[in-house]
């Protein structure tokens, strides 16, 4: 009796092969043949699920965004839900949520590398641009909602500049994550957590910075 293959499961397995090749050898190495070899499939089997290389890359970016979003949203729901606990609990959950943006283990390090690789590649590959942007907008929106939620819970001043500080926090996470992914020996997990914790402390302790609404960049919220 022939084995029944779930098409979506097989497509995701091929995406896993793309990620392995890209994380190890770079995006240019992710040819259909190399991806097929990594997945243990014939090239024809890969073509059965993806008509060409562009379709494969688009799916890989979409799938990466789905996985990143689902994992981080699991933390966000605990933080942003109606029963989020005491202020101390909220602070701990906030750190846990934002730490998901950082390469604290091999899996998250590969994820950071993949996000930056696909985002950089999208500059020269227009077919990837909207999908790479969607990942960034999801992450931007999660940071914005986290800061907004902290203000609503009384952890930040009422006139705290949520939009400006959301952009600053997102830039910190993105820059720190990339540096740590590239140079893990210089940026061990404990250091990453300490930097994040120090920044969150500064949001509470520093004077409020105000920006005119007319000069403010709008940060998209997560959906």
User: Is the same domain home to 132 and 26?
Assistant: no
Which pLDDT tens digit goes with each residue over 61-75?
999 999 998 888 887
Q: Give the domain extent around 14.
A: 1-51
User: At 41, which CATH number?
Assistant: 1.10.10.60
- Choosing from 11, 36, 51, the residue where a domain stops is 51
User: Is the same domain home to 23 and 127?
Assistant: no
Which pLDDT tens digit goes with each residue over 18-69?
999 999 999 999 999 999 999 999 999 999 999 899 999 999 999 999 999 8
User: Is the same domain home to 35 and 143?
Assistant: no
The answer for residues whose C-beta is within 8 angstroms of residue 184's C-beta and 6 or more apart is: 103, 109
Global pTM exceeds 0.85: no
Give me the DSSP letters along 115-176: HHHHHHHTTT-HHHHHHHHHHHHHHHHHHHHHHHHHHHTTSS-TT--HHHHHHHHHHHHHHH
- Choosing from 13, 33, 51, the residue where a domain stops is 51
Give me 173's structure tokens.
């996470």
Domain assignment present for residue 206? The answer is: yes
User: Is the same domain home to 11 and 76?
Assistant: no
Tally of domains within the chain: 2
Helix%, strand%, coil% for the chain, nearest 5: 75, 0, 25
User: Is the same domain home to 11 and 99?
Assistant: no
DSSP assignment letter at 209: P
């Amino acid at each position: 009796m022939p084995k029944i293959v779930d098409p979506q499961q097989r497509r995701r397995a091929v995406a896993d092969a793309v990620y392995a090749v890209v994380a190890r050898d770079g995006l240019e190495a992710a040819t259909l043949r190399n991806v097929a070899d990594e997945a243990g499939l014939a090239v024809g089997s890969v073509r059965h699920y993806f008509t060409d290389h562009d379709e494969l890359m688009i799916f890989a970016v979409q799938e990466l965004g789905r996985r990143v979003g689902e994992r981080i949203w699991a933390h966000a729901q605990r933080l942003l839900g109606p029963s989020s606990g005491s202020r101390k609990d909220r602070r701990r959950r906030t750190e846990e949520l934002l730490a998901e943006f950082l390469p604290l283990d091999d899996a998250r390090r590969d994820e950071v590398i993949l996000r930056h690789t696909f985002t950089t590649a999208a500059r020269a590959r227009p077919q990837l641009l909207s999908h790479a942007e969607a990942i960034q907008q999801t992450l931007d929106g999660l940071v914005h909602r986290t800061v907004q939620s902290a203000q609503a819970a009384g952890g930040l001043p009422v006139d705290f500049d949520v939009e400006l500080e959301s952009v600053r926090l997102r830039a910190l996470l993105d820059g720190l994550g990339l540096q740590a992914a590239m140079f893990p020996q210089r940026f061990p997990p404990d250091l990453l957590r300490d930097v994040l914790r120090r920044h969150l402390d500064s949001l509470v302790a520093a004077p409020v910075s105000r920006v005119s609404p007319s000069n403010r960049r709008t940060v998209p919220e997560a959906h």
